[in-house]
Chain A
């Protein structure tokens, strides 16, 4: 479409879209997918060099809903981190993005998740954290806060696993927490994660509008919005090489900038 914004590799944001989503209307996961699309577009990542990995659960379905030109791998429950490790070993030139949920990462796959960070596997790993097992209809997950209430009224009496804290302890080299609804913050965080070499862990609170959006839940849309306290204005500045020029007085120099634009410099002669 004429006039549509293109990135450095001449793709539009639409080129990063995937299949139509099958999430519930208003699901935080869809908002995260939109941020992923934005980030990959902004960072001008070639979709053909990307691999999208996930485990099992609602969140793990989402890689089908962004960047359909990339290879995808929907692994066994909890094992995405290990599959990603193998894929990275096989071809380290691929850009890996992993999407997982709190059941996938904080419970069944906790051990593999820790060891992936220990090995500092080069991956952007997003946990779409809603504190609940959505695909099995509403059980508490290991990130549900102590005292939070299940849809039927059951109170969680177990302490939550804080995945960002765990990632720091395990030595992950890029750790962030964000909110699915805050694209202005999340998209640059994902861009930063993509630029980072090593395990980049993003713990993204992503309210489940169907099973965990009620009074008493600490991961409902309302609760999260009320307690949202952005501590930084996040932006991403790509770490480009410094452009240097050296030319004669009185001559012109054509310089191509990182975004593809060009400037022509003219050096004045000394009088």
Chain B
């Protein structure tokens, strides 16, 4: 018999939503984390409050890969509605844990897997009196069962319970009893498995934190000096604004208890975006957070902010589209809607975090960029980054002063006038496309100007003159070119002599890292570029140019990012192959490897055909 894998285990828990499984799953995940084992979790939940299927994957991975794994070792089958499919989600040789309070129906039996029954319903009836709590605590039984089977220390679980329910000893106690019931049942029955063991690593996760990207974005924005937040509830972005509601009173009140911020739940996304514009124009750092449908509604306001040059930060937590699509699943399919948001010729700055630290950091920096460029700036997130729990190194605050860009005060205007210089709101004095800006409340008599989304000249006067109009459009493009030097540069990793490049961004980073290691083991060496912003920069062009072929991994059907690359550098277009993952689930390394290998085989075949044709021709 093979010896068990150490700290390498992928558990999938199938439950019904609204049954309290989220608490049980979090306790399980945090216990493994507390043992010091590298681990990650993915929540695949429905757009519903109660009664629809939900899956939660916990992955322990000694090698430290955090991406979702498609090969499932253990299936906790606690949802009858999906059981018939769930039994085939688990790998051959895997394990199925099910509630055997009633006998397993014959159609739920399959060969090649081990079944372990735990009578959760029966056990819970003995412990918890009939109440809504009973359903919720039933899920704690499988936590106990898994703890026994794979070696999660009960002391660790107790610590997690204390962390979670610190102020409610009764809740800690009642949950612990249920977990112990599952644990003891397995123990008494003498159940075992031989596939994997979880072994604590002392100080393994020392200093690490567990958080989600919506929280880190919220914190980044607060440390980035945001003062006005306007938002409208929409999954998966609501928890970002809610995190701000939580942290604002803790972090942004004066000693006298006065709020130095305002957060408004708007009547719709159009209003939310408009409030951001009003606040940004009036001099405050302002933001909103939304998802695809909200972004669609905000397009007109974003166009105004672009054309009339007002700062504002738009956090877009992408979900499955189009239309309502899959509100609780992940996608990167709003790239072009962000990049070209609004009618007319527009292009926007987009920051693309790929983990917790960068989402905190980029969130903070986005406000500097918005003010420097006097334009909407997007922070492109997705549900996987925003809502799943990630283990991370601690967030680091870069204590640079805020860059408020070319903001002119009354005193500066006074100086200017002494030097014979005039304030011209939309005049490109420096040749970088960025004009100077005043804000309302500036008491200089020549500070005021008129902001409008209609045609205007360099002095902010209404103009339909063709020269003025074209000049404005050209200057805005020039400003966008300047932005290339300001956005976060890509991160490049090279392997000696690799001719193949891989480019990815956002939540694809972790699975791509794993996929590249697997490809290397199978003889395919790859260099990697992590794209962290739009507009594209020279480093990216050089990377594509330096490789025979480049695989661009993105989470949409149409290769939206690849299209931006090809528009930018048509001459390099033929080198770019797309790896497209768009089933709404977090990306897996397995799928990336499969697609890249298919591309490579295809290439070999085509080269073969070409050689053959050449041969025939020469004959």
B330 at the A/B interface (Cβ < 8 Å)? no
Interface window among B151-159, B263-271, B362-370, B472-480: B263-271
Q: How far is it, in angstroms, between the C-alpha of A114 and the C-alpha of B462 when the chains are bound?
A: 30
Q: How far is it, in angstroms, between the C-alpha of A63 and the C-alpha of B462 when the chains are bound?
A: 12
Given contact pairs A91-B282, A91-B283, A85 touches B448 in the complex (Cβ within 8 A): no
CB–CB A89/B271 < 8 A: no
CB–CB B230/A71 < 8 A: no
A115 at the A/B interface (Cβ < 8 Å)? yes
Given contact pairs A71-B449, A76-B304, A87 touches B278 in the complex (Cβ within 8 A): yes
Interface residues of B in 444-486 (CB under 8 A from A): 444-445, 447-454, 461-462
Q: How far is it, in angstroms, between the C-alpha of A131 and the C-alpha of B445 when the chains are bound?
A: 38
CB–CB B441/A91 < 8 A: yes
CB–CB A90/B282 < 8 A: yes
- CB closest chain-B residue, reference A82: B274
With a CB–CB cut-off of 8 A, which chain B residues contact A19?
A: 461
Chain B: minimal CB distance from A194 (Å): 16
CB–CB A112/B271 < 8 A: yes
User: Which of the residues A69, A75, A86 comes within 8 Å of B448, measured between beta carbons?
Assistant: A69
- CB closest chain-A residue, reference B262: A89
Chain A: minimal CB distance from B312 (Å): 9
- CB closest chain-A residue, reference B442: A48
CB–CB B266/A82 < 8 A: yes
Given contact pairs A68-B448, A76-B301, A76-B304, A86 touches B277 in the complex (Cβ within 8 A): yes
B257 at the A/B interface (Cβ < 8 Å)? no
With a CB–CB cut-off of 8 A, which chain A residues contact B284?
A: 89-91
Taken residue by residue from 422 to 453, chain B's Cβ proximity to chain A (1 for < 8 Å, 0 otherwise) reads as 00000000000000000011111101111111
Q: How far is it, in angstroms, between the C-alpha of A93 and the C-alpha of B277 when the chains are bound?
A: 18
B55 at the A/B interface (Cβ < 8 Å)? no
B377 at the A/B interface (Cβ < 8 Å)? no
User: Which of the residues B300, B440, B450 comes within 8 Å of A64, measured between beta carbons?
Assistant: B450
A51 at the A/B interface (Cβ < 8 Å)? yes
B341 at the A/B interface (Cβ < 8 Å)? no
CB–CB A82/B271 < 8 A: yes
With a CB–CB cut-off of 8 A, which chain A residues contact B444?
A: 48
A200 at the A/B interface (Cβ < 8 Å)? no
Given contact pairs A76-B274, A82-B266, A112-B267, A90 touches B448 in the complex (Cβ within 8 A): no
Chain B: minimal CB distance from A3 (Å): 24
A49 at the A/B interface (Cβ < 8 Å)? yes
CB–CB A112/B279 < 8 A: no
User: Which of the residues A48, A75, A86 comes within 8 Å of B276, measured between beta carbons?
Assistant: A86
B515 at the A/B interface (Cβ < 8 Å)? no
Taken residue by residue from 93 to 105, chain A's Cβ proximity to chain B (1 for < 8 Å, 0 otherwise) reads as 1100000000000
With a CB–CB cut-off of 8 A, which chain A residues contact B227?
A: 90
CB–CB A111/B282 < 8 A: no
Taken residue by residue from 250 to 290, chain B's Cβ proximity to chain A (1 for < 8 Å, 0 otherwise) reads as 00000000000010101110111011111111111010000
B161 at the A/B interface (Cβ < 8 Å)? no
CB–CB B300/A115 < 8 A: no
- CB closest chain-A residue, reference B271: A82
Given contact pairs A48-B445, A69-B448, A112-B274, A75 touches B286 in the complex (Cβ within 8 A): no
Q: How far is it, in angstroms, between the C-alpha of A72 and the C-alpha of B456 when the chains are bound?
A: 13
Q: How far is it, in angstroms, between the C-alpha of A68 and the C-alpha of B447 when the chains are bound?
A: 11
Q: How far is it, in angstroms, between the C-alpha of A71 and the C-alpha of B282 when the chains are bound?
A: 9
With a CB–CB cut-off of 8 A, which chain B residues contact A76?
A: 274, 300-301, 304, 453
Chain B, interface residues (CB within 8 Å), range: 35 or more
A210 at the A/B interface (Cβ < 8 Å)? no
Chain B: minimal CB distance from A156 (Å): 27
CB–CB A94/B440 < 8 A: yes
Q: How far is it, in angstroms, between the C-alpha of A90 and the C-alpha of B267 when the chains are bound?
A: 19
CB–CB B451/A90 < 8 A: no
Chain A: minimal CB distance from B454 (Å): 7
With a CB–CB cut-off of 8 A, which chain B residues contact A72?
A: 448-452
Interface residues of A in 144-184 (CB under 8 A from B): none
A38 at the A/B interface (Cβ < 8 Å)? no
Chain B: minimal CB distance from A138 (Å): 21
With a CB–CB cut-off of 8 A, which chain A residues contact B448?
A: 47-48, 68-72
Q: How far is it, in angstroms, between the C-alpha of A85 and the C-alpha of B282 when the chains are bound?
A: 11
With a CB–CB cut-off of 8 A, which chain A residues contact B451?
A: 71-74
Chain A: minimal CB distance from B273 (Å): 8
CB–CB A87/B441 < 8 A: no
Q: How far is it, in angstroms, between the C-alpha of A114 and the C-alpha of B271 when the chains are bound?
A: 12
A84 at the A/B interface (Cβ < 8 Å)? yes
Q: How far is it, in angstroms, between the C-alpha of A259 and the C-alpha of B281 when the chains are bound?
A: 34
CB–CB B279/A89 < 8 A: yes
CB–CB A71/B279 < 8 A: no
CB–CB B274/A86 < 8 A: yes
With a CB–CB cut-off of 8 A, which chain B residues contact A93?
A: 441
Chain B: minimal CB distance from A117 (Å): 11
A83 at the A/B interface (Cβ < 8 Å)? yes
Q: How far is it, in angstroms, between the C-alpha of A49 and the C-alpha of B281 when the chains are bound?
A: 14
With a CB–CB cut-off of 8 A, which chain B residues contact A219?
A: none
With a CB–CB cut-off of 8 A, which chain B residues contact A114?
A: 267
CB–CB B281/A87 < 8 A: yes
Interface residues of B in 516-551 (CB under 8 A from A): none
Residue of A79, A82, A93, A115 with highest tally of chain B CB at under 10 A: A82
Q: How far is it, in angstroms, between the C-alpha of A73 and the C-alpha of B283 when the chains are bound?
A: 13
User: Which of the residues B267, B282, B445, B453 comes within 8 Å of A69, measured between beta carbons?
Assistant: B445
Given contact pairs A51-B440, A71-B440, A89 touches B228 in the complex (Cβ within 8 A): yes
Given contact pairs A74-B453, A76-B301, A90-B227, A83 touches B275 in the complex (Cβ within 8 A): yes
Q: How far is it, in angstroms, between the C-alpha of A114 and the C-alpha of B270 when the chains are bound?
A: 14
Apart from the given pairs A85-B275, A90-B278, A91-B441, 7 other A-B contacts in the complex at a CB distance below 8 Å: A73-B452, A82-B271, A85-B278, A88-B278, A89-B264, A90-B282, A91-B284
25 pairs from A and B in contact (CB 8 Å cutoff)? A47-B448, A48-B444, A48-B448, A49-B441, A64-B450, A69-B445, A70-B448, A74-B452, A74-B453, A76-B453, A79-B301, A82-B266, A83-B274, A83-B275, A85-B230, A85-B274, A86-B275, A86-B279, A86-B280, A87-B281, A89-B262, A89-B275, A89-B279, A90-B283, A91-B283
Closest 9 CB pairs of A and B: A86-B278, A86-B275, A82-B274, A90-B284, A90-B282, A83-B278, A74-B452, A86-B279, A87-B278
Binding site for A on B (CB under 8 A): 227-228, 230, 262, 264, 266-268, 270-272, 274-284, 286, 300-301, 304, 440-445, 447-454, 461-462
